[in-house]
Amino acid sequence: MRYFPWFTLSVLLIVGCSKAPPQAEATSEPTASPDATTAERTRLLAALKGANPKARQEAMEELAAWVESDPPTIAALVELLKDKTTAGPGKTLPTQINSTREAVVRTLLMAGPKGELVLKEQGLAALRAGLTDPSPAIREHTAYTIGLLKSLGQPLSPDVMKLCSQSDPLVRGVAFDTLRAIGITDVVGFVALLAHDDLDIAQLAAEQVSRLSAIPPAAIPTLIAALEREDHQIRTAAAAALGRVGSTSGKEAAVAITEVLKKAFTTPFNPDTSYDPKPTEKYWEALRRIGEPATESLVGLLRHEHPVVRASAARTLGEIGRPAHRAAPPLQHALTDEYGFVAIEAAVALCRVGESHEAALELIKQAMDAPNRLAQQAIEAIPRLGAAGQPLLALAMHKLTSDNSAARYAALGLLGRMDRREQVQQLAAVSRLLSDTEASIRARAAEVLSKLGPDAAPAAEALGQALTVEKNDGVRYRLVEALIALEAAAKPAAPALLPFLSNKSVPLSLRLQLPRLLARADPTSQPTVAALITASNDMDLTFRLAAINALGLLDPMPTEALDRLLTLARSDPRWPIRQAALRALAWAGPRAKPIRGEVEAIAPGSLAELALWRTVILAAIDGQLASTANAIRAGLSDKSAAVRGAAAEALVLVGPTVADVPALVKLLKESSSTVKEAAARCLAQLGPAAKEAVPPLTNLLTDGDAGVRLAAIEALAQMGRAAQSAVPKLQDLERDFVVGEAAKAALKKIQAEENP
């Protein structure tokens, strides 16, 4: 299955400083002759068509600048859009330009608004002709090139769609990818591909149909027919699309979907076998979206012989809510179902459709006392009862001390969703559960404390004790997360945290937070200071930098920490290490006064970046850090990457403003990891005010440097709902050992703000 390369060339397409075409000016300076201009243009166009990647890239950058003021260049580029040169079939690659058409389109896009206008008014027609070329390779490369245009190429959507049903798999694969990029204008025609005889074509269509945001009613008959195909992917895509049409899909669609569900549950129910809801969740979701017209079909499923179907039907009716009020009598009857989980779902649904709920609440109340997992299901159902379930909350909190582990687990989960005041009131009970016999309960208790942050300070000692004896790695990480959330209040647990500084099995995203935590929670402890100094020599560069940063936070600042920072700032062979030490000394400010004389001699020769840091550190020691703001901001655009990196790092100290965002966004695109990381950390301080930085920050989520990725994740997390577009890439990082935990935390923050 193919995926369109959404990203641009990582190296080849960096826009440099391009020269404009030679032009006559009213000055005394000599001007280029027309012949020289023509010769230079000819040379550049030849390089654009050539096979040398470096020469081609340089020509693209030069010609992009010429587009603004040289009509012959525009005419020549438009003509080259008809050039049929390609690298051959299957050579449409995101990291390599493999056709003249692609080079021309990238050049015009690089030229900005003027180039886009040329593409719109003249380029699309030239590209359209390439889609019908007799050569499959030319059709493939043309379609790929159109995909680079994204929404600008949408007028060609119907032409590209014709390639989706071609026999050549390379051509149709690129065609489907291109439609994903430029958009589908003939949705009804595209949906018809679900019925194609070639299963590969139908499946490729299904992949996009399931993601279409707007489905016209005219597509309903085709979608209903697609529910009868044997292929699961096609059926679920059709169901998802019918759900997006909503109530307009009507009863006919609901009936068709319920028939699919019936066929999915032909095996007798086995209470000892776990049920995977994934294969059918799209169908239930579609019925929920269809809403009231699906009520009759769902009521019919309440009588299905399989209890999972009955429970899911009841749940779906409850999600439809008041429009499904006609289902109240059969739901009332379902309260007596032989399977408790079905009865619980019926009880929830009764409350949600707006009918009398006394019997429903009584059933939930009794189920909470069950000695098995039924109690968990009942407690977890309470939030879905809405206002009707409020009287049950206090009863559920008593289950924190239940003999039933399933009930304890569910009660903790419910507490995690309640208001902070209730959570604080239950601190003692939650702290006791940190030593529960069930690992899942210990982990969930730690999660509740994490949400409370510093308000969970009374639990710090219990967290430290639990961390000392915990053997389950997953639980240990949750305990560490809870202590990190406590911030300075984690001091009682500092001794238990110290071993984790050198424990390389701990996810790096967690380990990186420990130096800062210990420096703030336990700065006067000699073991803490010694551990941080040791960590400042760690083999992992990213962790080493975190330890150096933490040394600058120690208050009071011990002599040995100052000496260590000064040594690193003076003589470490790696610039990132030296810069981190310099930054730490600036953070220390007046606390670094004992070494002021040594700082004055810290910038030998003409090292401008060191000179900038010396200025900043001395001002910080003297309590005049704000006076360096202008020098720092000037450094953001310095010709030296080292100075730009130093300026970005120093800007974190004086505090960035919204006016700094354009410069910082530019720094995110630099090759230096130090510069990118520093810029991301500045943007993190600005939060949603820097939302224009979301796209380049999202690009950094795949950066090769772990520090850069972590800084980008942190910045996106601080932007909250403004970073919604980054969610897919953050989800891809959830299993990353290095940044996975940070990605999960960022997702929670972003999605919590989106769904308060």
**pLDDT tens-digit profile of 318-370?**
999 999 999 999 999 999 999 999 999 999 999 999 877 799 999 999 999 99
Does the pLDDT of residue 27 top 50, yes or no? no
pLDDT of residue 35: 80
Q: Report the C-alpha gap between 633 and 423 in whole angstroms.
A: 45
Total number of domains in the chain: 1
| CATH number, position 123 | 1.25.10.10
Rounded mean pLDDT of the chain?
91
pLDDT of residue 10: 36
665 closest CA partner among 713, 629, 705, 699:
699
Query: Does residue 479 lie within any of the structural domains?
Result: no
Q: Report the C-alpha gap between 662 and 683 in whole angstroms.
A: 10
pLDDT of residue 3: 36
Does the pLDDT of residue 192 top 80, yes or no? yes
Q: In this structure, what token pair is assigned to residue 366?
A: 């009794």
From residue 336, alpha-carbon distances to 265, 306, 333, 388 in Å are: 22, 15, 6, 20
pLDDT of residue 6: 34
Whether 324 and 353 have beta carbons less than 8 Å apart is answered as: yes
Does the pLDDT of residue 11 top 70, yes or no? no
Q: Is 175 helix (H, G, I), strand (E, B) or coil?
A: helix
Q: H helices of 400-525, where?
A: 405-415, 420-425, 427-432, 439-452, 460-469, 473-486, 494-497, 508-511, 514-521
Query: Does residue 179 lie within any of the structural domains?
Result: yes
82-100 pLDDT, tens digit each: 999 999 999 998 878 999 9
286-310 pLDDT, tens digit each: 999 999 999 999 999 999 999 999 9
Query: Does residue 77 lie within any of the structural domains?
Result: yes
688 closest CA partner among 731, 722, 714, 717:
722
Assign 604 a pLDDT band (cuts: 50, 70, 90).
Answer: low
Highest mean pLDDT among 10-14, 211-215, 462-466, 599-603: 462-466
Assign 16 a pLDDT band (cuts: 50, 70, 90).
Answer: very low
Spatial neighbors of 605 by CB under 8 A, at least 6 apart, are none
Three-state SS across 69-94? CCHHHHHHHHHHCCCCCECCCCCCEC
Assign 32 a pLDDT band (cuts: 50, 70, 90).
Answer: low
Does the pLDDT of residue 728 top 90, yes or no? no
Does the pLDDT of residue 8 top 50, yes or no? no
- Domain encompassing residue 64: 1-20+34-185
Does the pLDDT of residue 667 top 70, yes or no? yes
As a whole number, mean pLDDT of residues 434-452 equals 96
- pLDDT-wise least confident of 10-19, 58-67, 197-206, 737-746: 10-19
Does the pLDDT of residue 14 top 90, yes or no? no
Whether 636 and 679 have beta carbons less than 8 Å apart is answered as: no
As a whole number, mean pLDDT of residues 42-65 equals 91
Query: Does residue 146 lie within any of the structural domains?
Result: yes
pLDDT of residue 12: 34
CA 335, 339, 341: angle at the middle one, nearest 5? 75
Whether 603 and 585 have beta carbons less than 8 Å apart is answered as: no
pLDDT of residue 751: 84
Does the pLDDT of residue 20 top 60, yes or no? no
pLDDT of residue 93: 87
135-152 pLDDT, tens digit each: 999 999 999 999 999 899
Of 26 and 341, more confident = 341
Does the pLDDT of residue 675 top 90, yes or no? no
Does the pLDDT of residue 69 top 60, yes or no? yes
Q: Report the C-alpha gap between 179 and 659 in whole angstroms.
A: 38
Does the pLDDT of residue 24 top 70, yes or no? no
Query: Does residue 502 lie within any of the structural domains?
Result: no
Q: Is 286 helix (H, G, I), strand (E, B) or coil?
A: helix
Does the pLDDT of residue 165 top 90, yes or no? yes
- pLDDT-wise least confident of 432-441, 447-456, 486-495, 645-654: 645-654
pLDDT of residue 600: 87
Of 166 and 32, more confident = 166
Highest mean pLDDT among 96-110, 434-448, 588-602: 434-448
Q: Report the C-alpha gap between 280 and 361 in whole angstroms.
A: 29
pLDDT of residue 15: 36
Query: Does residue 76 lie within any of the structural domains?
Result: yes
Report which secondary-structure segment, H or E, holds 124.
helix 124-130
pLDDT of residue 18: 45
Assign 30 a pLDDT band (cuts: 50, 70, 90).
Answer: very low
Whether 483 and 493 have beta carbons less than 8 Å apart is answered as: yes
Query: Does residue 571 lie within any of the structural domains?
Result: no
As a whole number, mean pLDDT of residues 449-462 equals 95
Of 169 and 675, more confident = 169
Percent of the chain with pLDDT over 90: 76
pLDDT of residue 542: 86
180 closest CA partner among 202, 203, 148:
148
**From the CB of residue 283, how many other CB atoms can be counted at a distance below 10 Å?**
25
As a whole number, mean pLDDT of residues 717-731 equals 91
Does the pLDDT of residue 602 top 90, yes or no? no
Query: Does residue 149 lie within any of the structural domains?
Result: yes
Does the pLDDT of residue 753 top 70, yes or no? no
Of 413 and 34, more confident = 413
